[in-house]
Amino acid sequence: MVQGKEVEKFVLPQERKSKNADGKTPLAIFNEEHREVAAYETQWMIGMATSCTVAASLIATVAFAAAITVPGGNNNNGFPIFSSEKAFLLFATADALALLSSITTVLSFLSIFTSRYSVNDFLYALPNRLIIGLISLFLSVTSLMVAFGSTMFLVAAQRNSLILVPIIALACVPVALFAYLQLPPLLNMIKSTYGPSIFD
């Protein structure tokens, strides 16, 4: 899809609108010949948006539940028991960030579902939405793991601090796995969307 617009830069302006014997412009011919590629890209984009929307919805659900059931409970006045602890502030901040970034992810991927999937959408609109969605999904996963780690610290630090090290280390595994699996395609997408043209 992008190649058609890139090749168009090398064609003289008057030639871009000229038509062949069948009455078709060069861009119309390109789009017609690459219809299968467009269909594949559309299905890939819908599949990616579906998977990420489900993941972000689950994170939003967990983050919201964690926000209303704070670690350690509360006094009968509704004030959290651990509210004076620094780890509680970290928990509250990370949980709020997880909730907000997961909602951003859902909205970003919902906008992909409602796209028209025209050739021009594949140039910037859809890649931008996908980039925003993946970055905010990574942020929500990371924030959720930080909230989990701070909760473990609040609850278990007074009893046995040695158990915290493996638990918090294991909390880093989902973040590292997400970065390992999603960062290379994300960086390629950023490079192809915002980087120099392949014809430069």
What is the span of the domain harbouring residue 179?
A: 34-194
- Residue with the bigger pLDDT between 94 and 124: it is 94
Domain-located, residue 16:
no
pLDDT digits 0-9 by tens, 28-51: 777 777 778 888 888 999 999 999
Phi and psi for 10 in degrees, rounded to 5?
Answer: -90, -10
Domain-located, residue 199:
no
Tell me how far apart the alpha carbons of residues 97 and 156 are, in angstroms, rounded to a whole number. Answer: 23
Domain-located, residue 1:
no
- Residue with the bigger pLDDT between 84 and 194: it is 194
Q: What is the pLDDT of residue 8?
A: 65
Domain-located, residue 11:
no
DSSP 3-state of 20: coil
Classify the phi-psi angles of 73: left when phi > 0, otherwise alpha if psi is within -120 to 50, otherwise beta. Answer: left
Domain-located, residue 154:
yes
The count of structural domains within the chain is: 1
Helix axes 86-113, 126-156, angle to 10 degrees: 160
Confidence of residue 111 (pLDDT cuts 50, 70, 90): very high
pLDDT digits 0-9 by tens, 119-145: 778 878 999 999 999 999 999 999 999
Domain-located, residue 79:
yes
pLDDT digits 0-9 by tens, 152-164: 888 777 677 777 8
- List helix spans (H) across 69-85: none
Confidence of residue 97 (pLDDT cuts 50, 70, 90): very high
Domain-located, residue 148:
yes
Q: What average pLDDT does the segment 54-64 reach?
A: 96
Domain-located, residue 164:
yes
Tell me how far apart the alpha carbons of residues 64 and 96 are, in angstroms, rounded to a whole number. Answer: 8
